[in-house]
A and B are shown apart, each in its own frame.
Chain A
Amino acid sequence: MKTSLLCLLALIALLLSSCHTQTDDFISKNCPGSCTVIKGTLTTDGRTKPLAGVKLEVQWHEGDMFSSIRRRKAITTTDASGNYELRFLLRDDELPSTYPDNGSFTVKAHINLENYLNCSGGNILLRTYDLKRDTTITFDYLLPQKAFVEIQANNLQAKQQDDFMWTEFLSDAPCTTVVSWYTSDTKQIIPIAANQPVIIRTTKRKSGVETVTEEVITLAPGKTFNYEYTF
């Protein structure tokens, strides 16, 4: 019985894995006409420093957990000023259609995710569902280097039912991190943008009184700042 079940599972896994395909679209990469263009500048350090030599790639993806197709459409490398241009040709099956059959385009950066802060947690800079032919999109992107804040909350056991406390990390970055404090989580390490100002704002309500405190820090890449707050 167990053997039959294992064989069945193996067969299902084989069937599922065979339905996921990835192709390279060289016609699109060498777009002969009616091109879609995504261009812009990639920077870091609060948009003050261009990111040169970063490989960027456009992919089209459609599917679900059972079957999918991933098609590489264009690839380029940022120049010395961080400028890039991705030029590609949309095929008919990549044009916008009705949800949920709609595929999506992503712009991915070939970066070391240990060094750079990105909202998606992965290497996706842009995701879009409705690109058209003969269209140019300008997309400037800030890709901050990564620093860290080790935050420590004290006296959380004093929190009552209507009390709250959270800490936000605000900067000119693609996303904002918010930590809500409960009684169990008293210490966390949060990645933040390096080489640019980051506001650490903690908001708390204690016994009906709401207070906001702010601290501005600028950290070098890879450095860790210790932040402690007592409820």
Chain B
Amino acid sequence: MLLRMKTTFLYLLLFFIVFKATAQSDSSAHTSQIRVYFGGAFPKGDFQSSDFEDTYTPFAMSGPLMQVSYAKAIGRNLYGGATLGLRINAMDLDKFAEENDELVLSKKSRPWQSVFTLADAEYRFNLTDGYFFVKGSAGAALNRSASLHVETTYGTIAQAADKNTAFAYGASTGLFANFDKFELGFETGILSTRPEFKFTDAQGRSTNYKLSMTTINLGIFGAFSF
């Protein structure tokens, strides 16, 4: 899936560069930009773990990442702004229990979810037909852990979701091409937060644990400059 997305993005980029010439204008005249991003978030490290030794195994799978950003020029090629983002990563229930597990009657879960509010600093490099940019972000994320409900022949395994707000940061880079006031581009980067959740086991004993929820992101965006 990752390979297919990468290929799609590369073709898109090629398309932008080839067909850009007729629509070129001087975007430096625009001082503000609103950007709408959609892409995939691919868990890394502890977040993607299916390790039996974890206190609470996340089983996070790749999922969608949506972001809306505002950026305003604050210097030559330097932009400051803010991003509101939503990231959703489902649990891989087939790793928790195989599809044909004789003990399991039913299984369901609600996904991991993070809502990001980030302050951004972006630096743009002029290209012939657009811009290459690097962006750093810092802020907060309201996180919700995944919930789990598995009915078995010997009882129910139920783990409730928990919420926690934690510091979040990101770094990304990308390219975009100008079409007068509109831009199209792609962006790749990392987004991370480390909330503390409460895990309650079948005996009712609670444990607090910190989980690094880090994803590598890859997506496309459309932008409007004014």
Contacts and interface: CB of A to CB of B under 8 A. Distances in A.
Interface of A: 24, 26-27, 29-34, 55, 72, 75, 87, 89, 91-92
Contacts of A26: 52, 57, 95-97
24 contacts: A26-B97, A27-B97, A27-B101, A27-B103, A27-B150, A27-B157, A29-B52, A30-B159, A30-B201, A30-B202, A31-B154, A32-B150, A32-B152, A32-B156, A32-B157, A32-B202, A33-B152, A34-B154, A34-B155, A55-B53, A75-B52, A75-B53, A89-B154, A91-B102
B203 interface: yes
Contact of B154 (A29, A33, A55): A33
Interface in B128-186: 150, 152, 154-157, 159
Given A31-B202, A33-B152, A33-B154, 19 more contacts: A24-B52, A26-B52, A26-B95, A26-B96, A27-B101, A27-B103, A27-B150, A30-B157, A30-B201, A32-B156, A32-B202, A33-B155, A34-B154, A34-B155, A75-B52, A75-B53, A87-B202, A91-B103, A92-B102
A26 B95 CA distance: 9
Interface of B: 50, 52-53, 57, 95-97, 101-104, 150, 152, 154-157, 159, 201-203
B150 to A, nearest CB: 7
Contacts of A55: 53
A91 B97 CA distance: 13
Contacts of A33: 152, 154-155
Name the residue in A29, A30, A31, A87 with the highest tally of chain B Cβ atoms < 10 Å from its Cβ: A30
Nearest to B148: A30
A105 B64 CA distance: 42
Nearest to B98: A23
A89 B150 CA distance: 14
A35 B206 CA distance: 19
Contacts of A24: 50, 52
A89 B53 CA distance: 17
Which of B97, B103, B150, B201 has the most chain A CB atoms closer than 10 A to its own CB? B103
Contacts of B102: 91-92
Contacts of B152: 27, 32-33
Nearest to A75: B53
A29 B52 CA distance: 8
Q: A26, A33, A72, A75: which has the most chain B beta carbons within 10 Å?
A: A26
Nearest to B101: A27
Nearest to B201: A30
Contacts of A92: 102
A72 B103 CA distance: 16
Nearest to B104: A27
